[in-house]
């Protein structure tokens, strides 16, 4: 049974997942710090290019299975039109109430 996004305990992570699932580029950018960075399966990626291809233009969606006690780690069933569905892990660094970095990869 997925965890409702509204039940995610870290507000910045909740805003990130809400924006991803709504395909809302403006809210997504607002959830990030200006210099936010990311990695996918251990490789640094350009956040704008990656999110455009992996989230926005491919209908990305996260169903949350678990969150860590600190609210900064998630295990999610992630799906998009390019890759289908896979079990993924997400780890967030929050700075001043926004996501400054996220790392994702297969779980």
Residue ranges with strand state E in the chain: 32-40, 43-45, 61-67, 73-80, 84-95, 98-106
Residue 13 in this model has a pLDDT that exceeds 90: yes
pLDDT of residue 1: 82
Looking at the chain, list the stretches that DSSP marks H as alpha helix, in order from N- to C-terminal side.
11-22, 25-30, 47-51
Is residue 64 over pLDDT 90? yes
Instruction: Look at residue 29 and tell me whether its pLDDT is greater than 90.
Output: yes
Average pLDDT over residues 9-13: 98
- CA 60, 65, 70, 73 torsion: positive or negative? negative
pLDDT bucket at 49, cuts 50 / 70 / 90: very high
Contact present, 32 and 15 (Cβ < 8 Å): no
Residues 66, 85, 52: CA angle, nearest 5 degrees:
95
pTM higher than 0.75, yes or no? yes
């Amino acid at each position: 049974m997925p965890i409702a996004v509204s039940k995610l305990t870290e507000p910045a992570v909740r805003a990130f997942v809400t924006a991803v699932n709504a395909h809302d580029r403006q809210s997504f950018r607002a959830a990030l710090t200006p210099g936010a960075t990311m990695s996918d399966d251990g490789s640094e990626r350009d956040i704008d290019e990656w999110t455009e291809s992996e989230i926005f233009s491919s209908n990305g969606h996260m169903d949350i299975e678990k969150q860590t006690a600190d609210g900064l780690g998630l295990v999610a069933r992630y799906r998009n039109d390019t890759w289908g569905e896979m079990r993924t892990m997400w780890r967030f660094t929050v700075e001043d109430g926004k996501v400054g970095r996220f790392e994702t990869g297969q779980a």
